[in-house]
Amino acid sequence: MTDAQKARRWRLILGRYANDSLPGSGLQGADVAIERTLSYLYDREYTARGHRLRTEGAGGSLDASALTALNWLGGARELFPQSTYERMQVHAIEKYGLTELLADEDAAAALVPSPQLATALLSIRGRLDASVEAGVRRVIAATVDDIVQRVRPRFAQALIGRRTRARSMRRSSATFDWRATLHLNLRNYNPATARLYVDQVRFTARAKRTLPWDVIVCVDQSGSMASSVMYSAVCASILAALPGVTVKLVLFDTSVTDVTTLASDPVGVLLTAQLGGGTDIAGALGYCEGLVTTPSRTVLTLISDFEEGGSVAAMLATVSRLRESGVTLLGLAALDEVAEPTYDRQMADRLSTRGMEIAALTPEHFGEWLGEVMA
């Protein structure tokens, strides 16, 4: 890479104020459009700090009045890769307050729905006015629909029935037993080529459950849990549509909100959620304890970072009572597409010693986990 190419890249990164410090970095051609698009958004960082923006210079920039939010959105979509464009959308709304993207019907329609954008909207929804409500709903609804379409097949397959040891004549992905197949063909492994040759494939039957299960999904809606609340709402809606499963959905921070009536409507749940505030796990579990009618056929899933702000003693005592009564207790530390957990591991260990199984899982694997404990 030549010095001129390096100067050009740094000029685009640092913005107009780097002109004097990077000789030979004048922008030309497509770079001018990139500069203008970046400046429209990221110059807001300077104005927020009280700087006055200069518009003269080789690269120049468009004042905010010269670009509309919709034009900026269209330009960014053409100039940048999809991942960069989606990140800029999030920055525009969450960090720089470009809520006109939501108030303008055409601009809202042009936004690319993504879990990151929906999470950002959920985090700041309480600070938005009524004029952007339709745009917020549009983005969240499109994001939820995309997640449901991706998650539902594996999630439902894991829960509709359990595998048995009986061989199945029905050869399909639903009955494929990869563990048995792998075991049967280990002798065919060739170290020289690092390949496993499969000459026997095993399929197993799935026995449908005949007894119903109650699944209580108890979701922490404190400020750090926006992504988990979104995926929890999706999972609850999938569960609510399955035969033989009754779902109760509870959101909590320092108070408890029972949104069971909205369990089949994840968008409604998300627009009801009030993210922020403290965390009272003890109070939430105490409420859920009152929902249990058949302990041996009940799964209570706590989705939280386990950072208890209430009484730790009361929380642990409630967990012990629930477990002793026969309720299956699951603690989920993360519920998003990457499951990178940030949670109080010491508290999770204490919950585990009282009978709550703890894991950090993606939505699909959460479905498989439920399928195992409900088999």
Q: What is the pLDDT of residues 92-134, one digit of tens each?
A: 887 877 777 888 788 888 888 888 888 888 877 777 777 788 8
pLDDT on residue 95? 80
Residue 223: CATH number of its domain: 3.40.50.410
| Number of domains comprising the chain | 3
Q: Give the pairing of strands 161-167 and 189-190.
A: unpaired
Residue 300 lies in a domain: yes
Q: Per mean pLDDT, which range of 47-51, 137-141, 277-281 is the poorest?
A: 47-51
Residue 347 reports pLDDT greater than 80: yes
Chain centroid offset of residue 57 CA: 43
Tell whether 109 and 248 lie within a shared domain: no
Tell whether 201 and 281 lie within a shared domain: no
DSSP code, position 91: I
Helix axes 133-160, 115-124, angle to 10 degrees: 120
Tell whether 202 and 217 lie within a shared domain: no
* HSE value, Cβ hemisphere, 13 Å, CA-based, for 298: 21
Give pLDDT tens digits for 8-66.
777 777 766 666 666 555 666 777 788 888 887 887 776 666 666 555 444 444 444 45
Tell whether 133 and 176 lie within a shared domain: no
Helix axes 69-79, 82-90, angle to 10 degrees: 150
pLDDT on residue 163? 45
**CA-CA distances (angstroms) from residue 239 to 200, 245, 271, 295, 374?**
35, 7, 20, 19, 13
pLDDT on residue 315? 97
Residue 41 lies in a domain: yes
**CA-CA distances (angstroms) from residue 186 to 69, 173, 177, 195, 199?**
59, 21, 15, 10, 10
Residue 36 lies in a domain: yes
Q: Per mean pLDDT, which range of 70-79, 94-103, 170-179 is the poorest?
A: 170-179
Tell whether 186 and 93 lie within a shared domain: no
Amino acid at 57: G
Q: Supply 209's token pair.
A: 């459950």
Residue 80 reports pLDDT greater than 70: yes
Tell whether 122 and 187 lie within a shared domain: no
DSSP code, position 187: G
Residue 151 lies in a domain: no
Written in H, E and C, the secondary structure of 2-49 is CHHHHHHHHHHHHCHHHCCCCCCCCCCCHHHHHHHHHHHHHCHHHHHC
Q: Supply 296's token pair.
A: 């041996």
Structural domain span for residue 177: 161-207
Share of the chain above pLDDT 90, in %: 34
Residue 301 lies in a domain: yes
Tell whether 308 and 360 lie within a shared domain: yes
What is the torsional sign of CA 178, 181, 187, 189?
negative
Tell whether 177 and 199 lie within a shared domain: yes
Tell whether 98 and 127 lie within a shared domain: yes
pLDDT on residue 292? 97
- Largest interatomic CA distance in the chain: 77
Tell whether 253 and 304 lie within a shared domain: yes
Tell whether 34 and 80 lie within a shared domain: yes
pLDDT on residue 56? 46
pLDDT on residue 289? 97
Tell whether 235 and 362 lie within a shared domain: yes
Residue 155 lies in a domain: no
Residue 149 lies in a domain: no
Give pLDDT tens digits for 154-173.
887 777 755 444 554 456 66
Residue 59 lies in a domain: yes
pTM confidence score: 0.72
